[in-house]
Structure 1
Amino acid sequence: MSLAKEFREFAIKGNVIDLAVGVIIGAAFGKIVDSVVADLIMPVVGLVFGKLDFSNLFIVLGSVPEGTARTLDALKKAGVPVFAYGNFITVAVNFLILAFIIFMMIKQFNRLKREAPAEPAPEAVTPEDIVLLREIRDSLKR
């Protein structure tokens, strides 16, 4: 079997296609979560903590050239090494929110998949001929 044919069989299997769709949807979902965190949650967190913008928290690790602005973007463009821990905080918050959303989705899927509690089995219906034989038996015992 040729390599191209083996690859074609692998690529068209259902699991590979499902995985590809999942990755694409996950990437789009990740952008939504990034926007929720950056545009909705972080401004509120920054307001609570005194208008703090986490994305601009950093420590300069090298010497700053004369005339360079002390912003993260300007320092990076100037090639100054910076320890940008604010970006890490933002990414960590993104992860926690994404993990919580996925947890809630899985929890709901599991709740929907749970089977309803088994109802007690109905009493066995005794066939009519058995009922008649029991009546005859009971009448003979008298």
Structure 2
Amino acid sequence: MSKVLNEFREFAVKGNVVDLAVGVIIGAAFGRIVESVVSDLFMPMVGAILGGLDFSNYFIGLSSNVTANSLAAAREQGAVFAYGNFLTIVINFLIVAWILFLVVKGINRLRRKAAEQPAPPAAPTKEEVLLTEIRDLLAKKA
């Protein structure tokens, strides 16, 4: 049993697993930021440009019981086809995809620049320094 626990511990503390966990947490926080940008900033501007439309409340009631004017109230009355909310989520996805594209593009550009530049010479090892000193001493004696 302890062998399994040791293997699990090795797996759990590997760099890739920790990096993935950090990425998921940051991604979730980033998703909430983008959701706020879309729903609180972007969509109201689009609605204002299109004559005060509020996409979040665009829905079609799927039963005759749905008579509300807001999506939240309509959902309490019955099933609704919330296409405005779907549109907002699609725009949210497109913004996230675009930002990730720009981030990956920037990282790729930096990698290409790093690959084009020659690596600086490595500092000589202790052995190399010692051998150089020995060579210089032998050259002086000759």
- Aligning the two structures, in what range does the TM-score lie when normalised by the shorter sequence? 0.7 to 0.9
1:74 is aligned to 73
Distance 2:58 2:108 in 1: 40
Distance 2:58 2:26 in 1: 31
1:13 is aligned to 14
Which has the larger helix fraction? Answer: 2
- Tell me the CA shift for residue 16 of structure 1: 0.5
Distance 1:43 1:75 in 2: 21
1:85 is aligned to 83
- Tell me the CA shift for residue 117 of structure 1: 6.8
Quick check: 1:98 aligned with 2:96? yes
Of stretches 109-118 and 84-93 in structure 1, the one that deviates more from structure 2 is: 109-118
1:37-86 CA distances to partner (integer Å, 9 max, x unpaired)? 11111111111211111110000001216xx63321112123x1100011
1:54 is aligned to 55
Q: Percent identity?
A: 60
**Larger CA Rg, structure 1 vs 2:** 1
Runs of 5+ consecutive residues of structure 2 not aligned to the other structure: 119-142
Count of residues paired in the alignment: 115
- Tell me the CA shift for residue 105 of structure 1: 1.0
Runs of 5+ consecutive residues of structure 1 not aligned to the other structure: 119-142
* TM-score (norm: length of structure 2): 0.74
SS in 2 for 1:69: coil
Distance 1:117 1:14 in 2: 28
Alignment root-mean-square deviation, CA = 1.8
Q: Which has the higher contact order (CA 8 A, sep 6+)?
A: 1
